[in-house]
Amino acid sequence: MQIATTHKNTDFDALASTIAATVLYPGTIPVLPKNVNPNVKGFLSIHKDVFNIRTPNEIDFNQVDRLIVVDVNKWNRLDGLKALKQKDDLDIILWDHHLIKGDIHSDRQYCEEMGANITLMVRQLKEEGNELTPMQATLFLTGLYEDTGNLRFPSTKSEDAYAAGYLLERKADLKVISSFLRPAYGEKQKNILFEMLKSAERINVSGYSISINKTAIKGHVESLSVVVHMYREILDVDAAFGIFTGKEHKCMVIGRSNAAGLNVGAIMRSIGGGGHPAAGSAMLKSVNPDTLEKMITDMIRGNQQTSVQVSDMMSFPVFTVSSGTRMKEAAIILREKGCTGVPVVDNGKLTGIISRRDFQKVRKDSALNAPVKAFMSTSVTAIEPGKSPAEAARLMVKYDIGRLPVVENGRIIGIITRSDVMNYLYDIGV
């Protein structure tokens, strides 16, 4: 049995991509997470049977031998499929348009940076000459428009526009699309927008006009992203952020950017959320909204010094090895210290890093007698002690690494880990 699935809080791009997988790989069963976005829910309430969609608990995982993952590349963003992660003989096919790499690995992956994931799949459908029904074309174009903001987000590629043209040729229905993409903007949303505008301020950060707004909300309010979107348009700033505080110090942050150089998705990822360059969000528990506001401006500022520095939160002294240390000794050190990597230092200078990942390159047992030098990575991303924790987070996100050596004048004086940065974010001022 083969199944196709996608990320939690399924949006139209994710739904469209899942259905596209059933066309590309005949016989595939579409499996959707229990939580889908409100407008997708509305669409499914009418179209569910047409697409024969199942939930994870309706699937006998013993029967599954092929998993097609679309619009996501991380296991923890899938729903109820943990059992499959352990399966050795599972054939995985990955379709993803996110630039940041995840932990779902596959021999067959179709990953390219694109405005919408469905664009990648439409290109393949077109090449293979698959017939599309008008309903499929409509769903696919809905996903494409949603993820590219009607082809207007800066992340949009020319390929997205070609795919949109192809789907219109296949009779995608624009009336249906606009009725499902129409944002839920009602009384509650109007009240929040009005509150936000009363306290609106514009600031200049590194040449960008920014507005960060902190608003308390009662209970669950849907479609806050629509509110932030309108707030940004009314203020006509490069980027707007809404920090919505609820019960028990819960914070919802939503960002919208209209400037190509200001990547909201990257900022949100560094505080545990996600998104695209133009749009992103994060949900945080027990965090001080003022700290969050400062974090966001620090992230936009990038390299500037802040009151809290990397040196305030790094660990030291650092356990190191030399490039002449044998691999087997390094393995013991990693195991005993319980860390994933250790810096390689020669004559006081940082020359590389040896991590668990590097041990995968060891093919023969005899290679364990070789020096660390033969296997270590020499391109090491390091940080200076005076930089901000936000900058450390930014580097960790950018290079997908969990630890940064702290280096002053070429000498390693400490190490900062992802959890150090997260501790700072969550604990301060609460």
Interface positions with Mn ion (CB under 5 A)? 13, 71, 117, 147
Closest approach of Mn ion to the CB of residue 112, in Å: 12
For the record, the structure tokens of 1 come out as 């049995």
**Residue count of the chain:** 430
Closest approach of Mn ion to the CB of residue 97, in Å: 6
Nearer to Mn ion, 13 or 391 (CB): 13
Residues 6+ apart with CB under 8 A from 95: 17, 21, 68, 69, 70, 71, 109, 110, 111, 117, 120, 121
Helices then strands (H, E): number in the chain? 16, 15
Closest approach of Mn ion to the CB of residue 153, in Å: 11
Beta strand spans in 118-165 (E): none
Nearer to Mn ion, 146 or 298 (CB): 146
Beta strand spans in 278-422 (E): 279-284, 341-346, 349-355, 403-408, 411-417
Closest approach of Mn ion to the CB of residue 182, in Å: 20
Count of CA atoms in the C-beta half-sphere (13 A) of 153: 27
252 touches 222 (CB < 8 A): no
Closest approach of Mn ion to the CB of residue 14, in Å: 6
Closest approach of Mn ion to the CB of residue 13, in Å: 4
Place of tokens 């179709």: 110
Nearer to Mn ion, 163 or 383 (CB): 163
For the record, the structure tokens of 175 come out as 């009336």
Closest approach of Mn ion to the CB of residue 100, in Å: 13
Report phi then psi at 427, rounded to 5: -95, -30
Residues 6+ apart with CB under 8 A from 173: 134, 138
Nearer to Mn ion, 117 or 211 (CB): 117
Nearer to Mn ion, 71 or 358 (CB): 71
Nearer to Mn ion, 99 or 401 (CB): 99
Nearer to Mn ion, 28 or 117 (CB): 117
Nearer to Mn ion, 56 or 143 (CB): 143
- Which among 231, 232, 273 is positioned nearest to 253, based on CA atoms? 273
Closest approach of Mn ion to the CB of residue 266, in Å: 16
Nearer to Mn ion, 137 or 321 (CB): 137
Closest approach of Mn ion to the CB of residue 2, in Å: 22
* Interatomic CA distance for residues 264 and 280, integer angstroms: 6
* Interatomic CA distance for residues 147 and 254, integer angstroms: 16
* Interatomic CA distance for residues 274 and 325, integer angstroms: 40
Q: Is 13 exposed, middle or buried (0-12, 13-18, 19+ CB in 10 A)?
A: buried
Task: Point out the residue whose Cβ comes nearest to Mn ion.
Answer: 13
